[in-house]
Amino acid sequence: MSSTRSTPATHDSAPPREVELDVTNIAHGGVAVARHEGRVVFVADAIPGERVLARITDDSKDKFWRADTVRVLEASPHRQAHVWPEADIDRDPAIRPGGAEFGHITLAHQRELKASVLREALARMAKLAREVEVEALPGAADGTGWRTRVRLHVASDGTVGPFASRSHRVIRVDSLPLATEAVREVAPLAERYPEIGSAPAAKPRGRRRGPASDDAHIDVLAPSVGGARLIIGAQARSVIRERVGDREFRVDDAGFWQVHEAAPQTLTEAVQSGIVEELFDAKAANLDLYGGVGLLAAAVGDKFGSSVRITSVESDERATEHAAENLADWLGAHTVTARVEQWVRSLADSSAAERARLSAATVVLDPPRSGAGRAVLDALTELRPAQFVYVACDPVAFARDVARLEDAGYRLDRLRAFDLFPNTHHVEAVGTLVRV
């Protein structure tokens, strides 16, 4: 049920500015779901089970609206003071920073909500009923202090800060609670950069998953080797080193690297444990697709030995160059700069001997948020590799790809989920699919 504070709106009339909503569940993307007069309302900063007063922000669609919570009328027992004071419910929604959209929810319940989104995506897209627990990573008990990389934007007047939630408007903040201490110490929140804000913007650099923006920005990062640093505007990239266990990886400072300080080690171990050992053949044509600087290829090599044959494919040329260096002590490692969807199509022309090696292969996939997709998976399943180990950063795209693999004769054998992004809605899954 819901009620309005003004004359009730009909489907054809202008919506009321504020409505009272009973929140029922959480949607993919981190917003809660309610209904108003038969219409779905996606409402930010709410928790399932709450009754809230919400301000309509987008009524352009007939079937659903979008809204921001402005007051909690009946609070969930899982509500807490927001871990980022500037994003708390007592601030106007227009000046709440984005990037910590679950910060008002207790950490244990955040993980329950993330598990439900993954579970429901698999049930809806792949018709699979799977229980899953979102596992915590090492770190602070309140899910703060984990981000080793933060992007701040610069407004035309030189103001530095994050974007407001679901906006490209820069707002000033006094704190960055999700960032590591090293990042917080050097983040120039109180400074102004008018020369950056008014300069023509360079195209975003680096690999996937970062926000693509035409605004000027400052990247603040603290690699695990060496001190924290800033990348200001179109500043030339430099090479940094990241340590994972006993191994170091070379990566561009503006290139892709997992942002949670414990994520590289966690994903290394998850991929290693995700491989079904009795199906693994070190001499097969094993693949590491969307391979970046070689983190997951190295995970395979460290588990099964330096003679493992594995080809790492990545579209970013600089990342591939680093991967070649990072994997240099593996005799069977090979790196390729190519778009994965184009490269996998070329496998259809492989010799009979190579196709046999591909059919015995383990394929590690770490695609962008949109997933691997039909073209990539169709080309791969035509070759019938022994198993896929799929690292996914989007539960719906993952579930869609699992459905495609199941239709092609594979079975989801193992599944784990990890809270790589506490106090946000994001969740990482690692699934193993084996040939039936």
Active-site residue numbers?
393
Nearest to 368 by CA among 349, 346, 391: 391
- Helix (H, G, I), strand (E, B), or coil: what is residue 433? strand
Handedness of CA 343, 347, 351, 356 (dihedral sign): positive
Half-sphere exposure of 170 (CA within 13 A, CB side): 22
Calpha distance 145→138 (Å, rounded): 11
Query: What DSSP state is assigned to residue 212?
Result: P
Half-sphere exposure of 338 (CA within 13 A, CB side): 17
Backbone angles phi, psi at 299, to 5 degrees: -60, -40
For 267-328, give the DSSP string.
HHHHHHHHS-GGG--TTS-EEEET-TTSHHHHHHHHHH-TT--EEEEES-HHHHHHHHHHTT
Phi-psi region at 127: left, alpha or beta (left = phi > 0; alpha = psi -120 to 50): left
Q: Is 170 within 8 Å of 215 (Cβ atoms)? A: yes
Pair of tokens at residue 416 = 């784990």
Pair of tokens at residue 199 = 């300069």
